[in-house]
Copies of this chain bind each other. A is one copy, B any other.
Amino acid sequence: MDKAVRHFQEELELLLARLLEMGGLAEERVRDAVQGLVTRDPALIEKVKYGDEPVNRLHIEIDEWCFRLLALHQPMATDLRAIVSAVKINTDLERVGDLAVNIAEAAQRYASHPPVKKLIDIPHMGNVAQAMLRDALDAFVRRDTRLAQQVLNEDDTLDGLKTQVFRELLTYMLQDPSTVEPALDLILISRHLERIGDHATNIAEDVIFMVSAQDVRHHTAGGG
């Protein structure tokens, strides 16, 4: 292996480590946002609401790094796909950070009303979405298409929970108008969590595309 190639592989590994760090941060923000909602903890909610800076800084840093690697090393085939996938995944993770802010904003409004109900399905959705995100990133780094496929399958779980949350809250809203506002925020939060799952799905699709150069997108209804 010549020196330039080794140097590129080292750079690529550092880049992937940084992307994992960003994934960890994004995931932590989702966890904190849902935790803030459940415990009605104003400090935790504020932390998420105003703590977007580190993720945004990493987003720019990783994006520029990808371009530098592309421009300097002009990688071929697999490495090229890995870096363009990193650009996309970086965008997905930044959006996850934004969605954590959206959840925190809704959680703040929700906390200004009496609780509509004991929250069970929404924290469950939060756990599923976080696990999907973690698995998708693991699959990316390990080039593990089987794990990526598992992430795609999990999306149905999230979709089912979202529908269940919606139906249940609708019942509350129809019976008692005082629940309309807080229930609306819970519905929005469940949609934000569903979208976090969508981003994990995007990452998983990129992994399968990158490894097998086979395009799994649009082969199932609804996805993407």
A224 to chain B: which residues have CB within 8 Å? 56, 59, 94-95, 98
* Residues from chain B with Cβ under 8 Å of A67 in the complex: 80-81, 84
A94: B residues at CB distance < 8 A: 224
| Size bracket, chain A contacts | 35 or more
Copies per assembly: 2
Complex interface: stretch among A38-46, A117-125, A133-141, A180-188:
A180-188
Say which residue of B52, B76, B188 sits within 8 Å of A71 (CB atoms): B76
List the interface of chain A (C-beta within 8 A of B).
52, 56-57, 59-60, 63-64, 66-67, 70-71, 74, 76-77, 80-81, 84, 87-88, 91, 94-95, 98, 101, 170, 173-174, 177, 180-181, 184, 187-188, 191, 202, 215, 217-218, 222, 224
Q: How far is the CB of A101 from chain B (nearest CB, A)?
A: 8
> In the complex the two chains form, is A84's CB within 8 Å of B70's CB?
yes
Contacts of A77 in B (CB 8 A): 71
